[in-house]
A = this chain, B = another copy of it.
């Protein structure tokens, strides 16, 4: 490995990479210039006509990338996703990547950017991390246009008898801004609206983001937007966007945002980056439209889901796959030795010290996720994402643990080496797919009661012994089933750090119970959110925000994204 490369940051690597024109990338998947809508030289949207036309193509195989429960040590799930796509192309499999769009909030806050890393990145990195093609801004506009129409409806006479104490629609900004979590609006007298409590979520937590990502097309989008429940009336009956008559305007605001965005990796693998719902309050997957389009344009599609397999993969399989009919062929579970050591009890400051004992303990976390995927009937490969600090003894232990548990595993070095560092994983994955026909089946049926669905996830995916409900949650379950919402899937909002609902319980906790504090209907998205503990839907900025290190140099190039 070239030692000079080691000191380069993601943005330096990205800026030094030589991109192909997006028209060339489109050409590589059989699309002409007329099939795409250019956004500069290196970004494009697939046109509505193109999306319609390719529907008759045969569908390629969908590979889902997930991970162990995330830790501060870092797993590199997006980096492996990108590197795996490059590697599959390198071994002759025509592959596309389908992943989520990053939100500006975390970019300006802690992360400073997110589109893979090292030599496994999606480009143009700066654009993807800033406004990209404006999809998230369109969602912010639609979210807040609805909010303004709601408050205006009340101000102008309140024909729908909206109970202003029971408005469940919040405003949104694509920023980390803790001061907007709880606000009072409409102050200043009768000409400035009706005072009420309100709050802002980060845009990616808006139901509209989930709706956009689960829609099959613009017609489905409009129907889903119309079904969203934004408040209850004085008789405690839900009021929908269609009753307000606003679904047409919201659809109009989203008519470009619903088209998937075509970009490329450093190795010129075509990538669709589209949609980015939260993986707690929402389902944490890129759009159905993008995943399906990629499958129509390539033989393999590598896609990922948010957080660990207990949240992201479970929701991919129970919500996205079920509603859209997308059937994954195999799953890749990303793990690092560092992160498993943290699951085994090592503190962040001691990760560089060799510790095979902690690794063995922490391996239990990976093992639980592997068992869950077996329960789903899906073949999988473990991607051991190698870090420079991993010792030989640790790597041997890791490989031995995988072998002893009958898990297919491959070491990846995609950060440093791009697709070349993912060849073994790609080969093993193709073998697994050829050898094992997946017999994917969900762990619950839609016709099960809400309570049984929650129990199925808690017991079969988390390994919980018991589910407890608050008084409020119990009452809501009865109400929701009476309102006809009982046949919707569950979207669990749980900490990503633990299999349990307690973020401090690392590894593979046992004998724990999950507490359902509250339910939240996302009728447009088509799921019922079950909240365990407090869920953050508007992050805050840290003491030293990444924004304060950002700049533009004399050539107009971005500085401080990384």
Q: Give A residues with C-beta under 8 Å from B.
A: 37-41, 45, 48, 104, 108, 130-131, 134, 137-138, 140-141, 144-145, 147-149, 151-152, 155-156, 171, 173-188, 191-194, 218-219, 222, 244-246, 248-249, 251-253, 255-256, 540-541, 543, 545, 547-552, 554, 556, 558-561
- Please tell me if the beta carbons of B137 and A141 are within 8 angstroms of each other in the complex: yes
Q: Which of B131, B151, B249 contacts A179 (CB 8 A)?
A: B151
Q: How far is the CA of A60 from the CA of B130 in the complex (A)?
A: 36
- Please tell me if the beta carbons of B104 and A141 are within 8 angstroms of each other in the complex: yes
Q: Which of B45, B137, B252, B547 contacts A149 (CB 8 A)?
A: B547
Q: Which residues of B contact A141 (CB under 8 A)?
A: 104, 131, 137, 174-175
Q: Which residues of B contact A548 (CB under 8 A)?
A: 149, 244-246, 248-249
Q: How far is the CA of A171 from the CA of B181 in the complex (A)?
A: 14
Q: A131-B253, A248-B560 are in contact. List 4 more A-B contacts (CB 8 A).
A: A149-B541, A179-B186, A248-B559, A249-B550
- Please tell me if the beta carbons of B552 and A255 are within 8 angstroms of each other in the complex: yes
The distance from the CB of A256 to the nearest CB of chain B, in whole angstroms, is 7
A-B contact pairs, 19 of them (CB 8 A): A38-B38, A39-B39, A104-B141, A108-B145, A130-B256, A144-B173, A145-B547, A149-B545, A151-B179, A152-B178, A171-B180, A179-B186, A182-B188, A182-B192, A183-B185, A183-B187, A244-B548, A245-B548, A249-B551
Q: Which residues of B contact A540 (CB under 8 A)?
A: 152, 155, 191, 193
The distance from the CB of A160 to the nearest CB of chain B, in whole angstroms, is 13
Query: Which residue from chain B places its CB closest to the CB of A38 in the assembled complex?
Result: B38
Task: Given A40-B39, A131-B137, answer yes or no on A48-B556 (Cβ-Cβ < 8 Å).
Answer: yes
- Please tell me if the beta carbons of A151 and B175 are within 8 angstroms of each other in the complex: no
The distance from the CB of A540 to the nearest CB of chain B, in whole angstroms, is 7
Query: Which residue from chain B places its CB closest to the CB of A178 in the assembled complex?
Result: B193
Q: Which residues of B contact A185 (CB under 8 A)?
A: 179-180, 183
- Please tell me if the beta carbons of A184 and B181 are within 8 angstroms of each other in the complex: no
Task: Given A141-B104, A248-B550, A552-B255, answer yes or no on A177-B147 (Cβ-Cβ < 8 Å).
Answer: yes
Q: Which residues of B contact A188 (CB under 8 A)?
A: 181-182
Q: Which residues of B contact A186 (CB under 8 A)?
A: 178-179, 182-183
Q: Which residues of B contact A175 (CB under 8 A)?
A: 141, 144-145, 148
- Please tell me if the beta carbons of A152 and B192 are within 8 angstroms of each other in the complex: no
Query: Which residue from chain B places its CB closest to the CB of A540 in the assembled complex?
Result: B152
Q: Which residues of B contact A193 (CB under 8 A)?
A: 178-179, 181, 540
Q: Which residues of B contact A248 (CB under 8 A)?
A: 548-552, 559-560
Q: How far is the CA of A184 from the CA of B192 in the complex (A)?
A: 13
Q: How far is the CA of A447 from the CA of B501 in the complex (A)?
A: 66
Q: Which residues of B contact A130 (CB under 8 A)?
A: 252-253, 255-256
